[in-house]
Chains A and B, each alone.
Chain A
Amino acid sequence: MAAGAHIVEGGFADPVFASQSVFRAVMDAMARPGPVQAIDTDLRPPAPLNIAAAAVVLTLADADTPVWLGQDLARDDAVKGWLAFQTGAPLAGLPSEATFAIAANAAALPSLSSFALGTQEYPDRSTTLILQVETLTEGEALTLRGPGIKGSETVAPRPMPGHFDMQWRENNALYPRGIDIILAAPDAVACLPRTVRIGEGES
């Protein structure tokens, strides 16, 4: 694979301040699950990697963090080359070895329990899944409760993985183990930390 211009170009023009502002958006989204945080950057990642997902990866991943790519992304040499050049992150062969996982196609996502879930002693050693979605506001509304949320919040991502409600309840049941999800629409993110409960009727 030749290291063409498409691999070298399209990163943050100003990595220090761009990653700081992306991080604050992600931190806010993680601390307050539900509300959508805009991601405003000059990134030009190769398709099918979307801008927000690329921004999150460039902000958080480096040589210390194996990254697992979902089927559609792993097939694409431009995406792999771009991420390798921009982050230096090694690719994880298995989802369970990944610090970050990026998936562009929710339908082809392996079950949430196949990612690294951490251990009871070190629940932080788990995968953060960056899941690309088309929208965070026009899909089926999910009602969220839990830490970071006053009362309840909603987020409406689309498309989501199959049987997501059930898979998420299983993820909840593993607490403090479990994965955290960063939902990445092209221009915004919303987070589902492992503490979030989806669609419970309690007040």
Chain B
Amino acid sequence: MDAGMDADMDDGLATYNFAYLDEQTKRMIRRAILKGIAIPGYQVPFASREMPMPYGWGTGGVQVTASILGPDDTLKVIDQGADDTTNAVSIRAFFAKVADVATTTETAKATVIQTRHRIPEERLTEGQILVYQVPIPEPLRYLEPRETETRKMHALAEYGLMHVKLYEDIARNGHIATTYAYPVKVEGRYVMDPSPTPKFDNPKMHMSDALQLFGAGREKRIYAIPPHTDVVSLDFEDYPFEIQHFEEPCALCAAQGVYLDEVILDDRGGRMFVCSDTDYCEKRRAEGHRGHLAGDTLEAAE
């Protein structure tokens, strides 16, 4: 009859609805997304579904992506900054199959980017949507295990416990030792877990041009940060928030001021530091940037 019906039938056998989820589930998730956007940083409960992948593999992000994705979208999926790791490859293949969307590894070409634990180095633009996979959405959970209590703390904006935690970091280590999932305050109201991104990425959330959506499948929560929204990393006047700095540039593309992964090369202490964002690194190398281990001299020698 129409395109929707055709998509449901394949050789007379029923297949999945567009983007896997049924329409009632999408409506429920879409309602949660709108509430999340209207109350930035507040965790909206939603009826998370079983997905054809285990919890911990990004079921929350996948459900959010499935609910917003349309046939005109171009999807990019990254896992710790990489387009080519198992989680990213399988989720990208999943949506190519069930939603028939275009996929890309180029940050600038994507309209929807689903991410596990990184924000791309390239500045996101107006109209792009970043979907985070979130394991534990409650920033206060390791400080207070009871949901009834953490909910009350959010209701009263009572976040003293989080500051005590950061203070204890300083008392024990001389500095705030939290390096990932570093808590932020959104629009001066809700303390929010940015998901286990390195704190290096926290400043990118502040006043971003892109819409940021967070999905936690096992914990059944969705939250959001609209574009151009105040996102402040918690700190103290005498111990201000700081991001990680790296001594050396990327060994492959010589980029500085980006987040680097350490790669062990041998059992004699050999190591290299390379961009965690593979697309960024590849793009720089294509532009002719070379790090000290880029391998060109070796190729030339051969």
CB distance from B220 to the nearest CB of A (A): 13
CB distance from A169 to the nearest CB of B (A): 17
B156 within 8 A of A: yes
Q: Is the CB of B228 within 8 A of A149?
A: yes
In the assembled complex, which residues on chain B have CB atoms less than 8 Å from the CB atom of A121? 151-152, 154-155
Of the listed residues B2, B68, B226, the one surrounded by the most CB atoms of chain A closer than 10 A to its CB is: B226
Q: Is the CB of A148 within 8 A of B30?
A: no
CB distance from B94 to the nearest CB of A (A): 18
Q: Is the CB of A30 within 8 A of B38?
A: yes
Q: Is the CB of B2 within 8 A of A14?
A: yes
Tally of contact residues, A, Cβ under 8 A? 40
Interface footprint category on B: 35 or more
Q: Is the CB of A123 within 8 A of B39?
A: yes
Q: Is the CB of B4 within 8 A of A14?
A: yes
A137 within 8 A of B: no
Q: Given contacts A27-B68, A150-B228, are A17 and B38 in contact (CB under 8 A)?
A: no
A71 within 8 A of B: no
Q: Is the CB of B27 within 8 A of A176?
A: no
24 contacts between A and B (CB under 8 A): A16-B23, A19-B23, A19-B26, A20-B26, A20-B68, A20-B70, A21-B70, A23-B68, A24-B70, A26-B34, A27-B33, A32-B226, A62-B27, A121-B151, A121-B152, A123-B39, A124-B36, A124-B42, A147-B228, A148-B226, A148-B229, A180-B35, A193-B38, A195-B187
**A residues at B contact (CB < 8 Å):** 13-17, 19-21, 23-24, 26-27, 30-32, 59-62, 64-65, 99, 119-124, 126, 128, 147-150, 175-176, 180, 193-195
